[in-house]
Structure 1
Amino acid sequence: MKRRDFVKNTALSSGVISLGGAFSYASSDHNQGKAPNSFNLNYAPHLGMFKQHAGEDPIDQINFMADQGFNAFEDNGLMNRDISLQNKIGETLAKRGMTMGVFVVDKGGNMANTLAAGKKEHVDIFLDGCKKAVEVAKRVDAKWMTVVPGGFERNFPIGVQDGNVIEALKRGAEIFEPHGLVMVLEPLSDSPDLYLQNSDQTYMICKGVDSPSCKILFDIYHMQKTEGNIIHNMGLTWDEIAYIQVGDNPGRNEPTTGEINYKNVFKFIHNQGFNGVLGMEHGNSQSGKDGETAVIEAYKKVDQFL
């Protein structure tokens, strides 16, 4: 979308990106308080999304997010960050009254160590990742961790693969349950070789695991690509959905840049009484500060569903 002039005018008139607003996060006094939530839902940006305004420092970026009215944050790569930074992130989120969204359980990558194969060595790597994830979650007060089971095991019938995945996830759930943590399974559209691709399939797996610590991460971008009919399919699987991610299609950028009617989708989610986190797992359609401002303005626009 060609929104450069609109974005500039909006920023000047609204003060979204102003010396008194966007850059005041650097004040130590300002950091002590919680910025008011500007949105009806809990949208969670990620590191790098606003670095042209906030700079490279992760803590400054989180404070910038809070100053813009976002009250949640997610970080897929959190497990691979230094423990000192993990602690700082946790402290900053607590200070700003922000909720920690998902981070990814490290099991070697989306396609690696597939649980569908039923191999002990693959399961052991997954379970080790779950144990380490518990410690990371404590540092940032996280509740949800993303799990991707891996690729298909083409030599096995699909029912056997389903059984192998369910059994492995049951063991993972046993690790998370005592801590009140939830692994959220993410069906993806990235490759036809990925085992988990559809919402109904993920629903079936969660029912098989039968644990409060194993639920669905419904990524709207991926599900638009693989199955469409977003609101209907969310409704069918709603009782197993614990986390939602956002991205428009095509392009995987902010809402309003693609074909998804996010105002209607967000209205449905709100009407369902959802009070969890919606991760902004997408890129910026425009570069630079204008592009970052466009992301904020896009969320303000689609959030006006009441």
Structure 2
Amino acid sequence: MRFSANLGFLWHDKALPDAIHAAKAAGFDAVECHWPYDVPPADVAEALAETGLPMLGLNTRRGDVPAGENGLSALVGREDDARAAVNEALDYAVAVGAENIHVMAGFARGMAAHDCFIGTLRYATSEAARHGISILIEPLNHYDAPGYFLSTTDQAKQIVDEVDAPNLKLMFDCYHVQLMEGDLCHRLERLLPVIGHIQFAGVPDRGPPDEGEVNYAHIFAEIARLGFTSPLGAEYKPDGETERSLGWMTTYRA
């Protein structure tokens, strides 16, 4: 197995370029991040070049975080802001060589929000295709993100089918999917054609993957059997120093 360090959670106390170097030293095969926009992209690109690690992806901005926003793309009346967030993410992704952009939907409900999200995604996929970048959408569980527009893989698959763009893919986060739907192995197999990235964390507390109710040794073996070869994203919350939480890497690579 190959693994990607999600630097939104791992080494979050370090500056992003330093976190990239820490991921390399720890043996990760790739990195990904959440919102890198306060860091000059040249600094990130330099760290990636020095380590040889690819940047798998980054997120569009959440919007007005103090006001409770968690994405803009399904918010009726915020279409211009959503497109601006897509443009900003694309510029940054191109500058650092990121492969994917997670377009965040936000807190919304109803058919108008669905149509708004579809419109943003059609814009995003069209613009991203010019740079060979894929757009990802990710269902979030309703415990951590109550009211988030996208909450299940069935809903995500419907949206992928409706947009009908080859560079729109599902980000399958095992943590979120287990909390909302379970049945991880069957869902991975059924959705494999539209999966662009896989993430994981322990369930239910989002800790390291060798803790909690999910047997990731079995899940990772199934992912390998299905032929998914891209690095899997470690998006969990370490309890203390990140280095002390990495024992699972040796176990699951064996």
Q: Same fold (TM over 0.5)?
A: yes
Match of 2:98 among 117, 124, 142: 142
> Is 1:133 paired with 2:85?
no
Task: Answer whether contact 2:197 2:230 (CA < 8 A) is retained.
Answer: yes
Alpha-carbon separation, structure 2, partners of 1:62 and 1:299 = 17
Could you say which residue in structure 1 is the equivalent of 2:185?
231
Distance of 2:120 and 2:3 partners within structure 1: 31
Whole-angstrom distance in 1 between the partners of 2:152 and 2:8: 28
Q: Which amino acid aligns with 2:209?
A: P
CA offset digits 1:7-29 (Å, max 9, x no partner): xxxxxxxxxxxxxxxxxxxxxxx
Task: Give the structure 2 partner of residue 82 of structure 1.
Answer: 39
Q: Which residue of 2 aligns with 1:44?
A: 5
122, 127, 137: which one aligns with 1:185:
137
Q: Which amino acid aligns with 1:138?
A: V
1:279 and 1:101 map into 2 onto residues whose CA distance is 9
Matches of residues 1-306 of structure 1 in structure 2 within 5 Å? Answer: 40-46=1-7, 49-50=10-11, 56-78=14-36, 80-83=37-40, 86-108=41-63, 111=69, 115-116=73-74, 119=76, 121-153=77-109, 156=110, 158=111, 161-189=113-141, 190-285=144-239, 287-288=240-241, 292-304=242-254
In the TM superposition, what whole-angstrom CA distance separates every residue of 1:191-242 from its partner, at most 9, and x where no partner exists? 3411100011101101111112211111111111000111111111111110
Gaps of 5+ in 1: 1-39
Go from structure 1 to structure 2 and tell me whether the alpha carbon gap of 1:222 and 1:94 turns closer, same or farther (over 3 Å shift). Answer: same
Q: Is the 8 A contact 2:7 2:31 kept in 1?
A: yes
Q: Distance in 2 between matches of 1:73 and 1:273?
A: 21
Give SS of 1:43's match. strand
- Whole-angstrom distance in 1 between the partners of 2:91 and 2:11: 28
Equivalent residue of 2:206, what SS?
A: coil
Q: Is the 8 A contact 1:184 1:216 kept in 2?
A: yes
Structure 1 residues 100 and 112, CA gap change in structure 2 (3 angstroms): closer
Percent sequence identity over matched residues? Answer: 25
Q: Which residue identity does 1:147 align to in structure 2?
A: V
CA distance in 2, matches of 1:134, 1:272: 30
Relative to structure 1, the CA distance from residue 191 to residue 47 in structure 2 (aligned partners, 3 Å threshold; closer, same or farther) is closer
In structure 2, C-alpha distance between the alignment counterparts of 1:226 and 1:98, rounded to whole Å: 32
What is the rounded CA distance, in whole Å, between the counterparts of 1:196 and 1:58 in structure 2? 28
Structure 2 residue identity aligned to 1:188: L
Contact kept in structure 1, 2:8 and 2:34, CA below 8 Å: no
**Counterparts in 2 of 1:301 and 1:44: CA distance versus 1, 3 Å:** same
Q: What is the number of equivalent residue pairs in this alignment?
A: 249
SS at match of 2:237: coil
Please give the secondary structure, in 2, of the residue aligned with 1:299: helix
Distance, in Å, in 2 between the alignment partners of 1:129 and 1:114 is: 8
1:105/1:45 CA distance change after superposition, 3 Å: closer
Q: Structure 1 residues 59 and 116, CA, compared in 2 at 3 Å: closer, same or farther?
A: closer
Instruction: State the TM-score, normalized to the length of structure 2.
Output: 0.88
> In structure 1, what is the Cα distance between the partners aligned to 2:200 and 2:97?
22
Distance 1:215 1:48, change over 3 A: closer
TM-score w.r.t. length of structure 1: 0.74
Task: Tell me the CA shift for residue 295 of structure 1.
Answer: 2.2
Q: Displacement of 1:161 after TM fit? A: 4.1
Amino acid at match of 1:127: R
Amino acid at match of 2:89: A
Distance 1:282 1:62 in 2: 16
Q: 1:267 deviation in Å?
A: 1.1
Shift of the alpha carbon at 1:141? 0.6
Q: Find the aligned partners of 1:48 and 1:191 in 2 and give their Cα distance.
A: 17
Q: CA RMSD in A?
A: 2.2
Contact 1:188 1:194 in 2 (8 A): yes
| Structure ID, larger Rg | 1
